[in-house]
Amino acid sequence: GHLQRGGAPTALDRILGTRFGVMAVKLAEEGRFGRMVSYQAYHVDSVPIEEAVNKLRLVEPDGEMVKAAKAVGICLGD
């Protein structure tokens, strides 16, 4: 994330990176391959790869996340 933004990693970047890494190692230790670490409703979990890639997920152009990204200077190509 921070490379795309062009800035230093935030505390949230570091925390999420750590939590994602912990979950990925846990999945590997348990032999639960073919899964992707996910972040949903403030919870780190995992989903089957097939579930993650077989759904179309649209982003609302006027949604709050897009507005927040633009407010901090993230270019979304428009």
Report the number of secondary-structure helices (H) and strands (E) in the chain. 4, 2
Residue 76 lies in a domain: no
Q: What is the pLDDT along the chain (78 residues), one digit of tens a residue?
A: 445 556 778 898 899 999 999 999 999 999 999 999 999 888 999 999 998 888 887 888 899 989 998 898 888 887
Residue 77 lies in a domain: no
Three-state secondary structure call for residue 22: helix
Q: How many domains does the chain have?
A: 1
What is the 3 state secondary structure string of 43-57?
Answer: EEEEEEHHHHHCCCC
Q: Is the pTM of this model over 0.85?
A: no
**Whole domain around residue 8: which residue ranges?**
2-71
